[in-house]
């Protein structure tokens, strides 16, 4: 007997019915806002089950009357999965969360906000005991002596086999236009474990920061260049910026009840870019990059200050991503201009230095971009930044020390300028001989007003030609060359005439500035003029005593 085949239309109808059934089932599952918990529930993200009302001006606080008034209103289910994203208003935001305890015993759970920028929030509900209202707490004094605070949370008790509807009224400042963070239910053990992990990460970051700061101050004391101090300032900004963004809010710590305090992220961005531009400015001076780099530095500073205006002006807030891209674009361009010659140096410390900076700037930009809009990968971006930060500051500090101590940029500059030489038309040997005569015989360096262009005029060449000759023949820069002769003269005067004051020595050695004299002397001898004189006299007396026969 031949089997009867169903027509194509029948298959299509059956498929349509199945699709409709599954669609309705999925829709019912999505629109059911009830959260089910049991004894095994340790850490549950409930953001997708939160309902909200953001335009109620009639109800602005928790009270029995307000709860009755809101029960019959229309509520909207949070449309974003695993993150609470609701538009902010000046009157705050109302949230509603329905929780059913399926366990046969009462349970205690913490309703935790994954943001530290929730300064005001209250939770109210009706239980078997009647109307209840709770104030939010961060429990900062219990575990961390108010240094490292847990996330803001409510400790709530759920009776056995009960269904409870919670109403939450809050003000949040995680982002300018939206309440934008996950909401979770945690048992006490999971809450403590999370706190201990946060405490350990903070302690490691703090110790690494202290180590990096100590190294930069030590290197600054040795080389007396603002590069290390400016980088130390950048490290301080990074540490406290991350602290006030992820550990404890600046308004709860310092009491800044204003838009800059609530939206401290933009203050952090401004200070980071300002200190980064300052660091590059000192590097440009050290590498003797042309004066045009100063214009980029000034423009970068002024552009960085625009981030402070974002919380104050809505138009800037709407375009904040483009400001972020512009700020990092200027920073990257300035970084390239300052390091254009150093990057050509085939040295492992130079490669390590560039790798550290490039990876860090890229990760910082990605993290800053995701700060404006929550993403499922945000936790990965934040934690990668936490682990990258200590590596970056230590690697950059050490590689920068090797670059400065070995003067790696000088050889690169020399090679670059040989290709574009400005001294091909002059007799280099005769110029060097005449330069040494001016320095060693005529002691031209004793003139307080001596400048590079003055000495170049004496030699009959241009100042750029003189600068190139000093680099190629003396392996240093013009200021360092003059300072070396002046310090030698000062050392001679200190030893030969013990009655001469250090101030007279400074003047006779060619220094018009007292601070510059002591700074350069300390850099050259690792001691001050008086201590140097005392050690030299003692050493001379000992040598004389050895020469006298017993």
Residue 522's pLDDT is 86
Give the pLDDT of residue 329: 92
**53-67, 149-163, 248-262, 336-350: least confidently modelled range:** 248-262
> Per residue in 234-256, is it b (16+ CB within 10 Å) or e — as a string?
bbebbbbbbbbbbbbbbbbbeee
Q: What pLDDT is attached to residue 397?
A: 96
Greater confidence (62 vs 294) lies with 62
Return the SS3 of 369.
helix
In whole angstroms, what is the distance from residue 443 CA to residue 439 CA? 5
300 CB-near residues (< 8 Å, 6+ apart): 273, 277, 327, 330, 331, 334
DSSP string, 472-507: HHHSS-HHHHHHHHHHHHHHHHHHH-TTS-HHHHHH
Query: What are 508-546's pLDDT values in tens digits?
Result: 888 888 888 888 888 888 888 888 888 887 777 666 666
- Nearest CA to 338 out of 449, 248, 413 is that of 413
**pLDDT value at position 236?**
95
Higher pLDDT, 158 or 293: 158
Burial category of 285 from C-beta neighbours within 10 Å (exposed 0-12, middle 13-18, buried 19 and up): middle
pLDDT in tens, 461-509: 888 888 888 888 888 888 888 888 999 998 888 888 888 888 898 888 8
Residue 548: predicted pLDDT? 56
Distance CA 280, CA 361 (A): 14
Percent of the chain as helix, strand, coil, to the nearest 5? 60, 15, 25
pLDDT value at 135 more than 90: no
For the stretch 9-46, what's the b/e string if a residue is b when 16 or more beta carbons lie within 10 angstroms of its beta carbon? Answer: eeeeeeeeeeeeeeeeeeeeeeeebebebeeebeebbb
Using the 8-state DSSP alphabet, how is residue 289 labeled?
A: -
C-alpha count within 13 angstroms, C-beta hemisphere, residue 248: 20
- Other CB atoms within a 10 A radius of the CB of residue 157 amount to 13
Flag whether the pTM goes above 0.85: no
Residue 416 has pLDDT above 60, yes or no: no
Q: What's the average model confidence in pLDDT over 207-223?
A: 93
Question: What pLDDT, on a 0 to 100 scale, did the predictor assign at position 435?
Answer: 86
CB atoms within 10 A of CB 433: 11
Nearest residue to 127 (alpha-carbon basis) of 175, 75, 166: 166
Percent of the chain with pLDDT strictly greater than 90: 21
Tell me the pLDDT tens digit for each residue of 7-34. Answer: 544 544 454 555 444 444 444 444 678 9
Task: For 177-206, give the DSSP string.
Answer: SEEEE-EEEE-HHHHHHHHHHHHHHHHHHH
Q: Which residues contact 255 (CB under 8 A, 6 or more apart)?
A: 261
For residues 136 and 152, give the distance between their C-alpha atoms in angstroms, rounded to a whole number. 6
Among 113-117, 166-170, 234-238, 320-324, the range scoring the smallest mean pLDDT is 113-117
Least confident of 181-185, 352-356, 424-428: 424-428
Structural domains of the chain ordered from first start: 27-186 (2.60.40.2380), 194-406 (1.20.1070), 422-443+453-475 (no CATH), 484-543 (1.10.10)
423 confidence band (pLDDT: 50, 70, 90): low
Residue 103 near residue 38 (C-beta atoms within 8 A): yes
Lowest mean pLDDT among 5-9, 237-241, 434-438: 5-9
What is the per-residue pLDDT across 371-410, written as a single tens digit (0 to 9) for each? 545 555 556 666 677 788 899 999 999 999 999 888 887 7
Distance of CA 168 to the CA centre of its chain: 34
Strands (E), 128-181: 130-135, 153-158, 163-171, 178-181
- DSSP type of residue 312: T
């Amino acid at each position: 007997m031949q089997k009867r085949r169903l027509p194509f239309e029948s298959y299509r109808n059956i498929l349509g019915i199945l699709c409709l059934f599954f669609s309705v089932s999925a829709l019912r599952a999505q629109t059911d806002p009830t959260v089910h918990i049991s004894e095994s529930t340790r850490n549950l993200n409930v953001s997708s089950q939160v309902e909200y009302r953001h335009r109620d001006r009639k109800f602005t606080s928790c009270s029995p009357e307000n709860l009755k008034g809101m029960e019959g209103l229309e509520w909207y289910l949070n449309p974003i999965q695993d993150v609470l994203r609701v538009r902010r208003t000046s009157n705050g935001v109302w949230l509603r969360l329905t929780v059913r305890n399926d366990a046969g015993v009462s349970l205690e759970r913490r309703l935790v906000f994954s943001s530290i920028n929730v300064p005001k929030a209250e939770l109210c509900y009706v239980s078997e005991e009647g109307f209840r209202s709770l104030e939010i707490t961060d429990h900062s004094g219990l575990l961390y002596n108010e240094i490292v605070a847990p996330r803001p949370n409510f400790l709530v008790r759920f009776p056995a086999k009960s269904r409870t509807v919670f109403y939450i009224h809050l003000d949040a400042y995680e982002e300018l236009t939206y309440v934008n963070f996950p909401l979770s239910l945690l048992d006490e053990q999971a809450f403590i474990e999370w706190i201990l992990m946060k405490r350990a990460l903070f302690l490691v970051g703090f110790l690494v920061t202290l180590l990096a700061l100590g190294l930069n101050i030590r290197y600054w004391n040795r080389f007396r260049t603002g590069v290390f101090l400016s980088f130390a300032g950048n490290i301080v900004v990074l540490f406290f910026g991350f602290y006030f963004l992820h550990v404890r809010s600046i308004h709860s710590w310092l009491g800044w009840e204003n838009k800059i305090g609530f939206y401290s992220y933009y203050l952090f961005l401004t200070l980071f870019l300002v200190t980064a531009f300052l660091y590059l400015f000192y590097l440009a001076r050290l590498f003797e990059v042309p004066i045009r780099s100063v214009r980029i530095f000034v423009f970068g500073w002024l552009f960085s200050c625009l981030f402070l205006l974002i919380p104050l002006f809505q138009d800037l807030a709407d375009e904040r991503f483009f400001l972020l891209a512009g700020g990092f674009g200027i920073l990257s361009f300035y970084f390239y201009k300052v390091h254009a010659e150093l990057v050509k140096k085939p040295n492992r410390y130079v490669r390590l230095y560039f790798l550290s900076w490039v990876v860090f700037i890229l990760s910082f930009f990605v993290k800053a971009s995701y700060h404006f809009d929550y993403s499922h990968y945000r936790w990965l971006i934040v934690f990668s930044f936490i682990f990258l930060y200590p590596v970056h500051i230590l690697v950059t500090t050490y590689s920068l020390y090797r670059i400065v101590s070995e003067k790696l940029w000088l050889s690169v500059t020399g090679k670059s300028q040989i290709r574009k030489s400005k001294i091909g038309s002059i007799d280099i040997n005769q110029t060097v001989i005449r330069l040494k005569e001016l320095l060693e015989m005529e002691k031209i360096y004793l003139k307080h007003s001596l400048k590079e262009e003055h000495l170049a005029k004496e030699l009959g060449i241009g100042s750029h030609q003189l600068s190139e000759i000093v680099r190629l023949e003396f392996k240093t820069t013009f200021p360092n060359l003059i300072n070396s002769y002046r310090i030698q003269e000062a050392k001679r005067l200190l030893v030969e005439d013990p009655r001469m004051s250090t101030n007279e020595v400074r003047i006779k050695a060619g220094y018009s500035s007292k601070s510059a004299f002591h700074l350069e002397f300390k850099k050259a001898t690792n001691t001050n003029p008086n201590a140097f004189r005392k050690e030299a006299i003692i050493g001379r007396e000992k040598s004389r005593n050895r020469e006298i026969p017993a």
